Amino acid sequence: MKKLILGLASLGLAANFAQAQSSVWEGSKGPKLAVVAPVRTDLQTAPISPEPLPLDQAQEGIQDDQNDPARSKTFSKSFPMDASDKLNLSNKYGDVLIRIWDKREVKVDVEIKAYSSQDGDAQRLLDETSIEAGKTGDVVSFRTIMGNRDGNYGSRVRNGKVVWKREIKVNYVVYMPASNSLSMSTQYGNMTMGNFSGPLYAKVQYGNFTAGSLNSNNNYISVQYGKADVEEVNVATIKQQYGSGLNIGTVGTLDLNAQYVGVNIKKVKGNATIKQQYGQGLNLGSVDNLDLDAQYANVTIGTINGNATIKQQYNNISITSVNKLVIKGQYANVKLGSLKGDGTFKVAYNKLIIDQVTSGCRNLMIDADYAGVSLGFGSGYHADFDVRTSYGGFKPGPASSRTISDDDNTKQYSGKIGNGGGAKISIKADYGTVSFN
């Protein structure tokens, strides 16, 4: 009987020991103190020196929130930079911040943090993450190196409290001259920079890009699954896919490919080539010359000062004012405020509306299938016109006209707007009504 009591007492002590480990880990305030030291011995680690370069400064610690223990370390490295030197940055799972200074050198400060519900796992994530830095010829490079990313990553919140978290954060702060060439990429992080005058290549995946004034004539920006905000850019090639959209204040010359995003551009001072597919559409304040291919996206344009070639498939396009215009629209409503130059229109389905054809338009050609055509004319506009309709009607309004041919399905009209002469209007419409207002 004494042996049995002694055995039960031993089991109770062992149970208390196991419960003490769990209680300390969960942050309990219970008086189980004897087990604290052996449970936390894995935190006593030597300074970390990841290959290929050691950390210049190491800072390790545990967050106060015991449900979110973290390990951290920092890296800092500088290189001299001549005016012709280039900087390459390649990061992942963190942000890149560019700061400009007047020193002829580049300095990169990196903070690395590892989060895990288990301290040992956080330390392993930290140990497997390092920064590779060096200079070869005229190229200075910094690159984030990570080990095997096995297991699950992310976080889980319950009742406003993080109950599980496992991730790595690598944040760069870069100090460099304003005019050197910069090539940088990051995945799962944001990229932020102010005014910059050097050639730029920037690629962001699953993050946002923010910039001030980019003054180089060589800027390439690619954003996937994020948002891009640029105050001003001189010459730019931009690719934007998915995410929260693209916003540009002023751009000199633009080559844009946008998919599944909304695009807002206040002003293009020069020429723009834009391809817009799906998404919330394109809003463009003003542009000099425009080459636009839009599919499944609404387009709103203020002023086109020069000439435009436009292809619009599905959805709608609206232009306040344009000089010379060539447009092909399918399954799209096409609406113009003022046409100040020659126009060539080929539209199928929906409507073509031009509020005012001005005296600058000397030649207007319209080919419409299954689309209504409505034209208004500025005061003092004079032109001769020919209109042919099949399975449709013609409403000449104030224009003088006469019927040249008339059969059951096809009719042809000719006449004058104003005094006639000078300008020429030619319209062919199948299965739609032509109206002069």
**pLDDT digit string, tens, across residues 267-288:** 999 999 999 999 999 999 999 9
Together in a domain, 81 and 138: yes
Q: Is 0.85 topped by the overall pTM? A: no
Together in a domain, 182 and 54: yes
- Count up the domains in the chain and report the number: 2
Residue with tokens 């086109």: 304
**pLDDT digit string, tens, across residues 1-31:** 444 333 434 434 334 433 333 333 333 334 3
**Do the domain assignments include residue 275?**
no
**Do the domain assignments include residue 163?**
yes
Arithmetic mean of pLDDT, 47-69:
39
**pLDDT digit string, tens, across residues 311-339:** 999 999 999 999 999 999 999 999 999 99
Q: Look up the domain containing 17 and give its range.
A: 2-39
Together in a domain, 35 and 83: no
H/E segment holding residue 429:
strand 423-430
Strand 139-146 and strand 96-100: pairing? Answer: unpaired
**pLDDT digit string, tens, across residues 246-271:** 999 999 999 999 999 999 999 999 99
Together in a domain, 115 and 16: no
pLDDT of residue 380: 87
pLDDT of residue 151: 75
End-to-end CA distance of the chain: 112
Q: Which residues contact 303 (CB under 8 A, 6 or more apart)?
A: 285, 286, 287, 320, 321, 322
pLDDT of residue 342: 98
**Do the domain assignments include residue 70?**
yes
Coil, strand, or helix at residue 95? coil
pLDDT band, very low/low/confident/very high, at 68 (cuts 50, 70, 90): low
pLDDT of residue 188: 97
Strands (E), 64-104: 70-80, 86-92, 96-100
pLDDT of residue 260: 97
Closest CA to 220 of 105, 209, 309, 231: 209
pLDDT exceeds 80 at position 42? no
Contact (Cβ atoms closer than 8 angstroms) between residue 199 and residue 181: yes
**pLDDT digit string, tens, across residues 383-423:** 999 999 999 999 988 777 777 777 778 999 999 998 888 89
**pLDDT digit string, tens, across residues 93-150:** 999 999 999 999 999 999 999 999 888 889 999 999 999 999 999 999 999 999 877 7
Together in a domain, 19 and 104: no
Tell me the C-alpha to C-alpha distance, in Å, between residue 133 and each of 86, 106, 128, 145.
Answer: 13, 12, 16, 10
**Do the domain assignments include residue 145?**
yes
Q: Cα–Cα distance between 129 and 196 in angstroms, integer?
A: 30
Together in a domain, 55 and 27: no
Domain end among 138, 154, 189 = 189
pLDDT band, very low/low/confident/very high, at 69 (cuts 50, 70, 90): low
Q: Among the listed ranges 113-127, 152-166, 211-225, which one has the minimum average pLDDT value?
A: 152-166
pLDDT of residue 163: 80
pLDDT of residue 53: 37
Contact (Cβ atoms closer than 8 angstroms) between residue 222 and residue 202: yes
Together in a domain, 108 and 29: no
pLDDT band, very low/low/confident/very high, at 154 (cuts 50, 70, 90): confident
Amino acid letter for position 338: S
Domain end among 130, 165, 189 = 189
**Do the domain assignments include residue 291?**
no
**Do the domain assignments include residue 282?**
no
**pLDDT digit string, tens, across residues 360-380:** 999 999 999 999 999 999 988
Together in a domain, 183 and 84: yes
Q: Cα–Cα distance between 229 and 107 in angstroms, integer?
A: 25
pLDDT exceeds 50 at position 212? yes
Together in a domain, 98 and 153: yes
pLDDT of residue 157: 87
**Do the domain assignments include residue 142?**
yes
Q: Cα–Cα distance between 262 and 247 in angstroms, integer?
A: 9
pLDDT of residue 148: 78
Together in a domain, 10 and 120: no
Domain end among 152, 169, 189 = 189
Tell me the C-alpha to C-alpha distance, in Å, between residue 112 and each of 8, 12, 129, 141.
Answer: 49, 43, 8, 18
Q: From the centroid of its chain, how far is CA 308?
A: 25
Q: Cα–Cα distance between 217 and 396 in angstroms, integer?
A: 51
Together in a domain, 34 and 166: no
Contact (Cβ atoms closer than 8 angstroms) between residue 352 and residue 330: no
**Do the domain assignments include residue 252?**
no
Tell me the C-alpha to C-alpha distance, in Å, between residue 282 and each of 71, 221, 337.
Answer: 45, 18, 17
Tokens matching residue 215 = 């003054």
Together in a domain, 13 and 123: no
pLDDT exceeds 60 at position 199? yes
pLDDT of residue 24: 31
